[in-house]
């Protein structure tokens, strides 16, 4: 074969590869798997984007998924220095008599906060939940008020708690989306405590109980979070998994069995990891543009974002992204650091995906009399002759 034929073959191979890559890039993302659940949601932890959902704002019974907030409140108290892991908690008769899943603490005994937390997280002990609630707040009812205050702070607008256990109550409800928000907050705010959610078992009072999250034993990428079950709520599961730097959170509510909630969660996680990827677009404080400033001590000011911007896309679609900076014309000093000025819009295939406020990265003070005067003249001439700036 001469060199021309070799060249032609190489070009043909390159052309076929380019066509294949283009076809993969244009291939539509499949629909999410069908899930036998009352409601569910799949969320990327880093970008907070919802990748799949059915009725995610539907208010449902949370069952023992409630204990995610029970532990979150206790973690906050630990962080604030209001208690320590070694503090001893006196077990009341009320805690001892609480029905449902149990850690098997005994009335009038002392149990450490650390052991009770593991009893809540790993063993889903209702007795441990009530004991912690009474120790932190004096009563379970007051502790429920603390839970609702945290829910409001986290933006869990579809949630209300009546107790620390998840036992049924007329005004005890949440949504799949709110559970995902709370799960993300636990992972983000308390990484040192989060490892308890991946603990396979816990032994207390010579009784060893396994973690009820079956995915911890089926999928090595899964490292939490919490199961829940009552007759009225069905079988529920909040799960998080991390693969190749991408973390997903799935929440399924109201499935038919323990195995069904695990299989549904696994299907959602596999779907998200297979068909989506998350990118870091911009860092917090990164200069995205500079704009001319009038009547200021500086002629320009830098604009950027308050927090990092990550985005989750169907695989192979990164090149279809478009970023547009919208900045008002003729900004007049002064400007303070952190002041909102303008907007960043991110589109995929000309469809707006998200927008973020642009902020002033470094403030600009007002100029003196001479600087303001010369800029006023410049603005007048610019307006007279059609200048934009």
CATH number at residue 255: 3.40.710.10
Residues 115 and 232 in one domain: yes
Residues 241 and 367 in one domain: no
d(C-alpha 64, C-alpha 166), whole Å: 5
Residues 328 and 181 in one domain: no
221 within domain boundaries:
yes
Kindly compute the dihedral angle of the four CA atoms of residues 209, 214, 220, 225, in this order, to the nearest 10 degrees: -80
Tell me which residue range forms the domain holding 206. 39-279
* Contact indicator for 144, 92 with CB cutoff of 8 Å: no
Residues 162 and 99 in one domain: yes
Chosen domain end from 252, 279, 306: 279
Number of neighbouring beta carbons within 10 Å of residue 215? 24
Return the pLDDT at 53: 95
Residues 289 and 368 in one domain: yes
Reply yes or no on whether 48 is catalytic: no
Chosen domain end from 246, 279, 312: 279
* Structural domain count, the chain: 2
Residues 272 and 328 in one domain: no
88 within domain boundaries:
yes
SS3 107: coil
22 within domain boundaries:
no
Residues 150 and 288 in one domain: no
Q: Show the DSSP H helices in the chain as ranges.
A: 3-26, 67-80, 93-97, 113-121, 126-137, 140-153, 176-189, 191-194, 215-218, 258-275, 369-384
Considering 39, 64, 129, 250, which one is annotated as catalytic? 64
Considering 67, 101, 183, 250, which one is annotated as catalytic? 67
Residues 275 and 288 in one domain: no
Residues 61 and 177 in one domain: yes
26 within domain boundaries:
no
- Indicate which CATH number applies to the domain containing 290: 2.60.410.10
7 within domain boundaries:
no
Instruction: Enumerate residue ranges in the chain where pLDDT < 50.
Output: 1-13, 15-25, 369-371, 375, 377, 379-386, 388-389
Return the pLDDT at 319: 79
14 within domain boundaries:
no
Return the pLDDT at 373: 52
93 within domain boundaries:
yes
Residues 237 and 270 in one domain: yes
Beta strands 276-282; 201-204: pairing state: unpaired
244's CB contacts (< 8 A; 6+ apart) are: none
Return the pLDDT at 27: 65
Chosen domain end from 253, 279, 305: 279
Report the predicted TM-score, pTM, of the whole model to 2 decimal places: 0.83
Considering 47, 71, 92, 124, which one is annotated as catalytic? 124
- Alpha carbon distances (Å) from 328 to 293, 298, 350, 389: 11, 17, 22, 10
Residues 270 and 302 in one domain: no
Reply yes or no on whether 257 is catalytic: no
Residues 210 and 324 in one domain: no
- First-to-last C-alpha distance (Å) of the chain: 64
* Contact indicator for 307, 78 with CB cutoff of 8 Å: no
Reply yes or no on whether 250 is catalytic: no
50 within domain boundaries:
yes
* Contact indicator for 355, 346 with CB cutoff of 8 Å: yes
* Contact indicator for 156, 182 with CB cutoff of 8 Å: yes
């Amino acid at each position: 074969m001469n060199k021309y034929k070799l060249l032609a073959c190489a070009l043909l191979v390159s052309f076929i590869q380019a066509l294949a890559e283009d076809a993969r890039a244009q291939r539509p993302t499949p629909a999410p798997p069908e899930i036998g659940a009352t409601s569910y949601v799949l969320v990327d932890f880093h970008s907070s984007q919802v990748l799949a959902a059915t009725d995610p704002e539907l208010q449902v019974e949370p069952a023992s998924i409630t204990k995610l907030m029970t532990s979150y409140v206790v973690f906050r108290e630990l962080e604030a220095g209001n208690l320590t892991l070694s503090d001893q908690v006196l077990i009341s008769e009320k805690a001892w008599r609480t029905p449902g899943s149990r850690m098997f603490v005994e009335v009038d005994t002392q149990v450490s906060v650390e052991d009770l937390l593991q009893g809540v997280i790993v063993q889903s002990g209702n007795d441990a939940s009530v004991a912690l609630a009474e120790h932190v707040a004096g009563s379970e009812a007051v502790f429920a008020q603390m839970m609702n205050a945290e829910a409001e702070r986290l933006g869990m607008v579809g949630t209300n708690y009546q107790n620390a256990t998840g036992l049924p109550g007329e005004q005890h409800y949440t949504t799949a989306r709110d559970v995902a928000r709370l799960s993300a907050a636990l992972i983000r705010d308390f990484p040192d405590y989060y490892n308890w959610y991946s603990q396979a078992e816990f032994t207390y009072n010579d009784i060893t109980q396994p973690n009820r999250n079956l995915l911890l034993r089926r999928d090595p990428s899964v490292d939490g979070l919490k199961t829940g079950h009552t007759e009225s709520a069905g079988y529920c599961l909040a799960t998080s998994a991390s693969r190749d730097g991408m973390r997903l959170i799935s929440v399924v509510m109201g499935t038919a069995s323990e195995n069904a909630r695990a299989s549904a969660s696994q299907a959602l996680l596999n779907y998200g990891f297979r068909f989506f990827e998350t990118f870091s677009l911009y860092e917090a404080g990164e200069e995205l543009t500079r704009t001319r400033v009038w009547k200021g001590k500086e002629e320009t000011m830098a604009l950027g974002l308050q927090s990092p911007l990550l985005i989750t896309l169907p695989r192979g679609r990164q090149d279809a992204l478009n970023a547009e900076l919208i900045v008002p014309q003729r900004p007049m000093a002064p400007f303070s650091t952190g002041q909102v000025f303008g907007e960043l819009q991110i589109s995929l295939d000309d469809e707006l995906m998200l927008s973020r406020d642009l902020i002033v990265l470094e403030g600009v003070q007002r100029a003196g009399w001479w600087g303001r005067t010369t800029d006023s003249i410049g603005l007048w001439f610019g307006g007279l002759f059609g200048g934009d700036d």
